[in-house]
Structure 1
Amino acid sequence: MSATPGALARRLGLRDAVVIGLAAMIGAGAFLSLGAAHDLAGALAPLAVLIAAGVALCNATATAQLAAQHPSSGGTYHFGREQLGPWWGFLAGWCFVIGKIASCAAMALVIAAYLVPEPAQRLVAALVVVVLTGVNLVGITRTAALARVLVTIAVTALVLTGGRLLVGLASGAPTNGGADGTGGSDGTGGPGAVDGSGAAGAGEGALAIPGPLAGASAGLWDGGLAAVLGAGTGGIVGIALAVAQAAALMFFAFAGYARVATLGEEVVEPRRTIPRAILLALAAVAGLYLVLSVVLVLVGPAPGEDGWGPAPFLTALESVGAGGLWRAVITVGAVAAAGGALLALIAGISRTVLAMARERDLPPVLAHVSPRFSVPQRAEAAAGVAVVLLVLLASDALVAVAASAFGVLLYYAIANLAAFTQVGQWRLFPKAMQVLGVIGCVLLVAALPGRTIVAGLVLLAVGFAYRGLVLVARRTA
């Protein structure tokens, strides 16, 4: 069946929708966020995964409920406009765009880090973005087909790697934790809890976070709620802040389930397909992340002061004596996972840009849909250009993760507010889930680094200023 002019064709069934959601999530969680969460929370990293999954579940039910009523491209941008008003919709769309551009940059940098040495990484990352943007430009069914291949490779690599780590542990292979209790996964001297010093093993029985994520004056802990509440004083407050920040970074890894909602105009039977696809994808990934997090805890703390880094399972394999073959397996899996996530992310951004351009919240020229491929090619190209620029300018993949979490968590807070207003046949889940979703999103944003929060607020102000100027120009025209 052909699409009407300017509309997108409904070509995605349940399986394709689930695969796109899986491809958007699997990547950051296993190959970036899990390591950062372990550096922050140590043996409590699985708790951070559960917290992030709980917030994601609340958000997923809100997104599914909204997408069933409003099956159009744009996700919460469209939902916010319909349920709360134009300014709320604009805020959601703007948060989504800036957050997901940061996500794309992080994914591209992860791919390049596995493929080439440092001097060439940014150029390779930019090339990856260009190639995957080109794939999206020729049709959403091709996007789903490639995503299916990539997510299969990624899951296979993760399962094999997890099994190899467990075999290594069962055979008594040496790990980073050692056998003397000075760096184990029991929270004594490992990265399990917080004294704010930023030094690994800071004293007998100390609860320390090593590496760039540590301390009230280093890395992601710089400023913000952690400093205000005195994370460096240790105790239950410090531990809670470490887990909260770990959960905020882990949430970044769950955010892909909403990619299905942003493709709502292209999904067959959206009222039935979208909720099922979102919940199935989220449940599968939550289980996978929880198991991998436990395995990482069993392996023990990362060596040195840099923590697990952007490739935690590569480091973990080395710690149990796994050789070059296993390095190749996890590298292929990481590149496939990050590539699949990046492919779906670019598609999601472009659909939100399309929706915003249709309402003239972004330049109307971006609202064009290709009559040949039935995709928003100009929005796709604009998203790709923005990601390439950020890849070339960004300083660090984990900084991009934190920036993404800021935008995406606010985006979902608005989604929960919008879903709270739904009534009648469109209410598929209890309102209590939306209340918990708003609270969870706000708390995780507050746990982010101070610099991330400040930079995010500046970008929000720029967006509001732009829309205000456009509205003034309309009135005076």
Structure 2
Amino acid sequence: MGEGLARRLGTSDAVAVGLSAMIGAGVFSAFAPAASAAGPWLLAALALAAVVAYCNATSSARLAALYPESGGTYVYGRRRLGPLWGYLAGWGFTVGKTASCAAMALTFAAYVAPALARPLAIAAVVGVTVLNLYGVRRSAMAARVMVAFVLAVLAAVVAAGLLGTPHTPSPIGDQQAFGGHDVWGVLQAAGLLFFAFAGYARIATLGEEVRDPSRTIPRAIGLALGVTLVVYVLVALAALRTLGAAGLGASEAPLADVVGASGAGRLRPVVGVGAAVAALGALLALVLGVSRTVLAMARNHDLPAVLAAGRTPRRAEVAVGVAVVILLLAADLRGAIGFSSFGVLGYYAVANASALTLSRAEGAPPRVIPVLGLVLCLVLAATLPLESVVAGAAVFAVGAAVWVIRTRAWRRGV
């Protein structure tokens, strides 16, 4: 194993990284497909996603305090459940979040210059990778600036939505469009909305670079999750009041439509800039998190060991940047939210299962928390859109096959 990374991040730095990942990844992209699935039960789906996030965050925080290393659940799974489970967690996280990086880069580019979306997305990935090479402290400072700006934009959207012209329900539009929504739709929407909460994993994956991790990591995860939940509830209320469930579900740019429908259309350009900055902040945090998981996997030879050389994760960061650029050149990533949600729900299922093995002396959470988290992760993953389930299951199957082949070759001395 290589030398440990320098501990440079305090609580506020870790909170900023978590907020930039959650708010950027979710608030501008996940609400419309979730509303399409849940209809008028969107707030119930949001509450369920928050419960899952709380369980996962509690389990992750206890494990991160015990194992303050880069890699997050990849490390916890290896330590508590065995190498295969850790590997599958790391594999699902790395593949799913690499796709999310590409999706966030494309989101940024679509708001800035849609006609040049792909080359601009590649430029964004290169820029973020270069920023990360200058050190995690500079990345955390950039995340702070971006989070502050995005929160200001969201405050304006919420004010416009709650104080502006309300939506007038249409018996034909709202009742017929959403009369058939049921428990399955709420579960599916919760799975999609979980994508919007998953950013606190970035705090745990940075565990080796956080000062006083046993105290800082649980506090930072709790603060980031709490702030994000409040923001999401306010945004959802504003969007439902202004657009209605049917309008929100059909919208391609829901927050821009909120300010337009509320009579504050002059804010549309500001919302566009906010979405671009949020996507860039999410991309920054995602690259940080994925590169640390790659670093941890390389240290254990689950990925090429050359990626773990030195006291900085620069080789892992460059490798992630290159992988995202290749995806941008080769793939259509419209289904990235569902695909990423499946991978991350699998990742947190391993985290909750790992937390179940903790003793009271090791800081085990109340047993109901990891049990509920594990069950809900599996249920929400199964209720995602079929194409996301099939693609996610295929990715995990390929990962398991690679692990088996590599392990047999290692045992034979190949």
User: TM-score range with shorter-chain normalisation?
Assistant: over 0.9
Alignment of 1:27-66 (within 5 A): 27-66=24-63
Contact kept? 2:24, 2:278, Cα under 8 Å:
yes
How far off its partner does 1:396 sit?
4.2
Q: 2:208 aligns with which of 252, 262, 265?
A: 265
Give the distance between the partners of 2:362 and 2:264, measured in 1 at CA: 52
2:81 aligned residue: 84
Structure 2 counterpart of 1:289? 232
Residue 6 of structure 1 and its aligned partner are, at CA, apart by: 2.6
RMSD over aligned CA atoms reads: 1.9
Distance between the aligned counterparts of 1:59 and 1:247, measured in 2? 14
Structure 1 runs not aligned, ≥5 long: 194-206, 208-233
CA positional deviation for 1:180: 4.8
CA distance in structure 1 between the partners assigned to 2:147 and 2:289 by the alignment: 17
Give the equivalent residue in structure 1 for 2:314.
Answer: 377
Are the equivalent residues in 2 in contact too, given 1:38–1:297 (CA < 8 A)?
no
Structure exhibiting the larger radius of gyration computed from Cα positions: 1
Equivalent-residue separation in structure 2 for 1:251 and 1:350 (angstroms): 22
The reply to whether residue 245 of structure 1 matches residue 188 of structure 2 is yes
Rounded Cα–Cα distance in structure 2 between residues aligned with 1:52 and 1:72: 27
Is 1:319 aligned to residue 261 of structure 2?
yes
C-alpha contact (below 8 Å) 1:33/1:252 kept by paired residues? yes
Question: Does residue 425 of the first structure (1) align with residue 361 of the second (2)?
Answer: yes
Separation (CA, whole Å) in 2 of partners of 1:305 and 1:256: 23
In percent, how many aligned pairs have the same letter? 48
Aligned to 2:198: 255
Select 1:182's aligned residue among 156, 168, 172: 172
Aligned to 1:440: 376
* Cα drift, residue 168 of structure 1: 1.7
Contact 2:146 2:277 in 1 (8 A): yes
Deviations 1:409-464 (Å, cap 9, x if unpaired)? 00000000001101132224201100000011001001112222111222222222
CA distance in 2, matches of 1:7, 1:345: 21
Cα distance in 1 for partners of 2:193, 2:2 equals 40
Secondary structure of 1:31's aligned partner: coil
**1:302–1:315 CA contact under 8 A, matched in 2:** no
Report matched runs for 1:388-399 at 5 Å: 388-397=325-334, 399=335
TM-score by length of 2: 0.95
SS at match of 2:28: helix
Kindly provide the CA deviation profile for residues 104-160 of structure 1, in whole angstroms up to 9, marking residues without a partner as x. Answer: 12211111111112x421221121111111111110001100000000010000001
1:336 counterpart letter in structure 2: V
The answer to whether 1:147 aligns with 2:161 is no
- Alpha-carbon spacing, 1:340–1:286, altered in 2? closer, same or farther (3 Å): same
Amino acid at match of 1:120: L
Contact kept, 8 Å, 2:41 with 2:186, in 1: the verdict is yes
Structure 1 residue 125 corresponds to structure 2 residue 121:
yes
Partners in 2 of 1:458 and 1:396 — Cα distance?
16
2:298 maps to which residue? Answer: 357
Distance apart, 1:101 and its partner CA? 1.0
The structure whose residues are more often helix, as a share, is 2
1:203: which partner in 2? Answer: none
Secondary structure of 1:444's counterpart equals: helix
Give the counterpart of 2:9 among 8, 12, 17.
12
TM-score by length of 1: 0.83
CA distance in 1, matches of 2:102, 2:31: 18
Quote the Cα distance in structure 2 between the aligned partners of 1:411 and 1:314. Answer: 33
Report the counterpart of residue 136 of structure 1 in structure 2: 132
CA distance in 2: counterparts of 1:306 and 1:88, whole angstroms: 37
Residues 361-390 of structure 1: CA deviation (Å, up to 9, x unaligned): 111111123xxxx53111111111111222
The structure-2 alpha-carbon separation of the partners of 1:304 and 1:10, relative to structure 1 and needing over 3 Å to count, comes to closer
Within 2, Cα distance between the matches of 1:27 and 1:84?
32
Partner of 2:278: 337
Encode CA deviations 1:307-357: one digit per residue, 9 max, x unaligned: 112x2101222223323x301211121111111111011000000000000
**CA distance in 1 between partners of 2:296 and 2:78 (Å):** 11
Render the CA deviation track for 1:144-203: whole Å, top value 9, x for unaligned: 00000000010000001111222322xx6xx5xx465433xxx5135xx3xxxxxxxxxx
Distance across 1 between alignment mates of 2:170 and 2:121: 42
For 1:149, the aligned partner's letter is: V
Deviation at 1:278, TM superposition (A): 0.4
